[in-house]
Amino acid sequence: MKEKEKLAENAVSLFRSGFNCAESVLMTMQDYLGLEKNPSIATGFGGGIGRKGSVCGAVSGGVLAINLKYGRKKSEEEALKEKAFSKALEFYKKFEKKMGSAVCYDIIKCDLTTEEGQKTFKENNLLEEKCFKCVEASVNILLDIFEERD
């Protein structure tokens, strides 16, 4: 199995173990980058920000990973800011193309802030059918971006 496949599988495994989509993507990419795993900065992004169905948590976790690799540490590092913006936009567009949307609600078609929506989510096996695929896509797209020549 290729490293890329192993990393995507690892992200899905983290998700299956109880971490949310954003945490799973971020921790996988932290591991890839040789950084300490810290899911806490991604926790609230799950379910499209607190289950609201906004930007997919797998996208949010991916942007956090992009920031770790390309982000700036000082306000005057304008070139790094621009690079992070560019990579984040590239990632977003590729995810949107692959998954049809980068918005959680558009992907799963239910409101996770309601009991009815959570029931629909479980009954339709959307974690398996949609969310795991989003996590896998996010990691694969990130790896492609991280491996590009800058």
Run means of pLDDT, 10 residues per run, the chain, 150 residues: 87 97 98 96 98 98 98 96 98 98 98 97 97 98 91
Residue 94 lies in a domain: yes
What pLDDT, on the 0 to 100 scale, is given for residue 72? 96
Give residue 1's pLDDT.
Answer: 56
Residue 100 lies in a domain: yes
Q: Looking at the 3D structure of the chain, how many domains does it have?
A: 1
Which residues have C-beta within 8 Å of that of residue 132, sequence separation ≥ 6?
12, 15, 16
Question: Contact 91/145 with Cβ under 8 angstroms?
Answer: yes
Cα gap 28→62, rounded to integer Å: 10
pTM: 0.95
Q: Is 55 inside any structural domain?
A: yes
The reply to whether 37 falls in a domain is yes
Distance between alpha carbon 116 and the CA centroid of its chain, in Å? 25
In a domain, 71, yes or no: yes
The pLDDT of residue 149? 78
Domain that holds residue 104: 3-145
**Is 150 within a domain?**
no
